[in-house]
Structure 1
Amino acid sequence: MRLGSMALSMSIALLLAGCQRAEAPRGEAAPAVVATAPVEPLGAAGLGLSGTVRARVEAPLAFQVGGRIAARRVDAGQSVQAGQVLLELDPSDLEQAVRAAEADAAAAEAALRTAQADLERVRALAAQGFVSTQATDRAQLATREATARRDAAQARLAQVRNGRAYAQLRAPAAGVVTDVTGQPGQVVAAGQPVATLAQAGAREVEVFFPDTVAPPAAGQARLPDGRTVALALREAAPMVDTLARTRRARYRADGLPPELPLGSVVTTQFALPGPGTTAPADGASSVATWRVPVGALDERAEGPRVWRVRDGKLEAVPVRVLRMDDRHAVVAAPLQAGERVVALGTHLLQPGMTVQERAQ
């Protein structure tokens, strides 16, 4: 019995000692293994986008009066001259309105002549002392009223005659009809667009930029035949399209050949600032432009960032995304050549984490 008790006590002591030795290494966690990639500095970064050839003036056309479309004289893509008839309304109601206005004008003219004749008779009687001065004043006021009614009737007649002329929609300038939405038999209201005219003359290139890129002041367009044309910014949309997340810009392109059709797609190239010349939006000191793996971007915080590895520790570096594709992103950030950033799994990282690099 004594020997059994001693053996049991020694077994318990050895078991406790083993547990203490096993718990000792748990005080310090092993560093996480992360895949890293070096940042690649860029020179003067170039942004290539597709642009569309547009006319400087593209005006939607509409009738100034309402009615039913009786005829369509042009098709989309057709060149027209100034004053050429594009569409016509049924003039029946407009003709009746003219006749009614002519009758009103004739009646007003007759009423004026009657009032003038009455005024002459009253004046003659007043000279002989047969009527009072009050009767003369009434006759003069009636003549003035008849004159005003005649003038109003003539103004209405001129208005309805203009409306009859508005039954024909004419091209305000020479150009190309890019779209026709009005069809014969369709009833349209005054001011409802029925066609679009791209006026002849100056042409431009329309480009849509990502919302993170401000439209540059200049660039160049490469035509289908290989020639290049200089671009100069004329206007840029003040707001970003909320659906497409793009910003529209129009560029003057004086060297576009006249045989290049409107709507043609050209390749545009714009120079973006390179390292040390990209100014952040808040006006702080300039930062460089780098290319990083698209998986290195982390957008959990208030803005996009990447995770830089320094001395085995993680640091979050805010970045400004300039453009990206399915593999890489071009960012403006205060990074240095030769530094490495975490390329995958950024959603699991925290500032100050101890990591072990595994080059990608």
Structure 2
Amino acid sequence: MARGGRASHAALLMLTAALLAGCDAAPAQREGVEAPLPSVRSEAVQFVPDEVRYRFPGVVRASERAATAFLHGGVLRERQVVLGQRVEQGEPLATLHNPAMAPALAVAEARVRELDASLSRLGRDVERARTLRERNLSAASELDRLSAEREAVAQAREQALAQRDEAQAQLDELTLRAPFAAVVTDLDAEPGDFVAAGQPIMQLAGVAEREVEVRVPASLASRLEPGQAVSVMPTFGAQRIVAEIVHVGRAGESMAPVIAAIPVHSAPALGEPVRVQLEIAARAVTRVPLAAVVDPAGSAPYVLALNDDDTIRRVHVMPGRLAGGWVSVNGEGLATGDRVVTAGQGRLEEGMRVRVLP
């Protein structure tokens, strides 16, 4: 029994020593295991030229427009077109009755015929006088007189021809013709009405090109130039049409007209309201992804920037304009190429080291 008791006592002592040794080694093992670093994603800070967008309302109109009128007064005899009709260049639109035009042409034509007869007679007289002079049967002064008279009649005939052509042109002006291919958009006079010279008879809108005019502040107009691209969007639609500035007016300190040409194949209908978006280059700005800004609507928004050793530093910023998922910021401590955390900001503190995911 004595030997068995001693053996049991020795085994107990060994077990106790082992337990004590195990308790001493556990803290050492725990101290040797490092906690995993927080994982984050990042993007580089950009310094890029900014663009400011302005939108102005306008109405689509034809690039070619005309308020057709007669050169002379008279009574509107006939109108050959109706509202909304398409007409081609040179097509008759309306005719005017002016009782003075036809008699003036008749008088001019009679004058030309009279001078033609006189010129023919004088031509024969000159030839006869020349023959007599060659035979020494008449004086040289007679031939000279007849030659001078024929020359005077020839000049008078040239004037009469010009007067006849003018009378014919004025008579032709009694027929109003389309100056270009167009659509009749308005009728201003009815057959039987007396119209004065220059009074509009109808309104035409060309079918070849479309444009829109907007009025912009003079300070903005000074930064625009012909050939610059703009966007045109229907007021009640999402379509975006690329147009081109063709004219920039001058208006001193007030509003200046700006005209943009719209491609015909994609142009909205005449009279449709649209919005014209002008994109003006501005000074370069610092911008970061919107996801990098913490508490952007709060009183103290900030971003978490990464140092070279992947430690965190907090940079307070003032967010600006948002475009395409990036926001311009104004804050000291950010430079082009600096990395900012875009994902995994939760529980990150100043000076904490992180693991940047690719």
TM interval, short-chain normalised: 0.5 to 0.7
**CA–CA separation in structure 2 for the residues paired with 1:263 and 1:256:** 16
1:256 Cα deviation after fit:
5.2
**CA–CA separation in structure 1 for the residues paired with 2:132 and 2:264:** 83
Aligned positions of 1:1-360 closer than 5 A: 44-184=51-191, 185-189=193-197, 191-214=198-221, 216=224, 217-223=228-234, 224-239=236-251, 245-254=254-263, 257=266, 260-273=268-281
**CA–CA separation in structure 2 for the residues paired with 1:255 and 1:168:** 31
Q: Could you list the runs of 5+ residues in structure 1 that have no partner in the other structure?
A: 1-42, 278-335, 338-360
Identity %: 27
Moved more, 59-68 or 150-159: 59-68
**CA–CA separation in structure 1 for the residues paired with 2:82 and 2:164:** 34
Q: Write the letter of the residue equivalent to 1:168.
A: T
Helix, strand or coil for the counterpart of 1:172? coil
**In 2 relative to 1, CA 126–274 (structure 1 residues): closer, same or farther, beyond 3 Å?**
closer
User: C-alpha offsets along residues 258-311 of structure 1, whole Å, 9 cap, x if unaligned?
Assistant: 6x321211122223455657xxxxxxxxxxxxxxxxxxxxxxxxxxxxxxxxxx
Helix, strand or coil for the counterpart of 2:100? helix
**In 2 relative to 1, CA 238–211 (structure 1 residues): closer, same or farther, beyond 3 Å?**
closer
Helix, strand or coil for the counterpart of 2:220? coil
User: C-alpha offsets along residues 6-63 of structure 1, whole Å, 9 cap, x if unaligned?
Assistant: xxxxxxxxxxxxxxxxxxxxxxxxxxxxxxxxxxxxx744322212112222234333
Aligned equivalent of 2:353: none
Helix, strand or coil for the counterpart of 2:131? helix
Q: Write the letter of the residue equivalent to 2:229.
A: A
1:236 Cα deviation after fit:
1.0
**CA–CA separation in structure 2 for the residues paired with 1:58 and 1:114:** 54
Helix, strand or coil for the counterpart of 1:92? coil
Helix, strand or coil for the counterpart of 1:208? strand
Q: Write the letter of the residue equivalent to 1:246.
A: M
Helix, strand or coil for the counterpart of 1:213? helix
**CA–CA separation in structure 1 for the residues paired with 2:284 and 2:132:** 101
Helix, strand or coil for the counterpart of 2:231? strand
**CA–CA separation in structure 2 for the residues paired with 1:273 and 1:257:** 27
**CA–CA separation in structure 2 for the residues paired with 1:88 and 1:172:** 15
1:255 Cα deviation after fit:
6.1
The answer to whether the Cα contact below 8 Å between 1:45 and 1:274 also exists between their aligned partners in 2 is yes
The answer to whether the Cα contact below 8 Å between 1:230 and 1:255 also exists between their aligned partners in 2 is no
**In 2 relative to 1, CA 130–239 (structure 1 residues): closer, same or farther, beyond 3 Å?**
same
1:87 Cα deviation after fit:
2.0
TM-score by length of 2: 0.57
The answer to whether the Cα contact below 8 Å between 2:210 and 2:264 also exists between their aligned partners in 1 is no
The answer to whether the Cα contact below 8 Å between 2:184 and 2:203 also exists between their aligned partners in 1 is yes
**In 2 relative to 1, CA 208–170 (structure 1 residues): closer, same or farther, beyond 3 Å?**
same
The answer to whether the Cα contact below 8 Å between 2:78 and 2:95 also exists between their aligned partners in 1 is yes
The answer to whether the Cα contact below 8 Å between 1:208 and 1:249 also exists between their aligned partners in 2 is yes
**CA–CA separation in structure 2 for the residues paired with 1:106 and 1:213:** 66
**CA–CA separation in structure 2 for the residues paired with 1:270 and 1:219:** 5
The answer to whether the Cα contact below 8 Å between 2:56 and 2:275 also exists between their aligned partners in 1 is yes
Aligned equivalent of 1:288: none
Superposition CA RMSD, Å: 2.8
User: C-alpha offsets along residues 129-186 of structure 1, whole Å, 9 cap, x if unaligned?
Assistant: 3321011111111111112222222222222122212111100221123344344422
**CA–CA separation in structure 2 for the residues paired with 1:50 and 1:109:** 66
User: C-alpha offsets along residues 93-136 of structure 1, whole Å, 9 cap, x if unaligned?
Assistant: 22111111111111111111221222233223323333210111
**CA–CA separation in structure 1 for the residues paired with 2:165 and 2:76:** 23
**In 2 relative to 1, CA 267–134 (structure 1 residues): closer, same or farther, beyond 3 Å?**
same
Q: Could you list the runs of 5+ residues in structure 2 that have no partner in the other structure?
A: 1-49, 286-329, 332-358
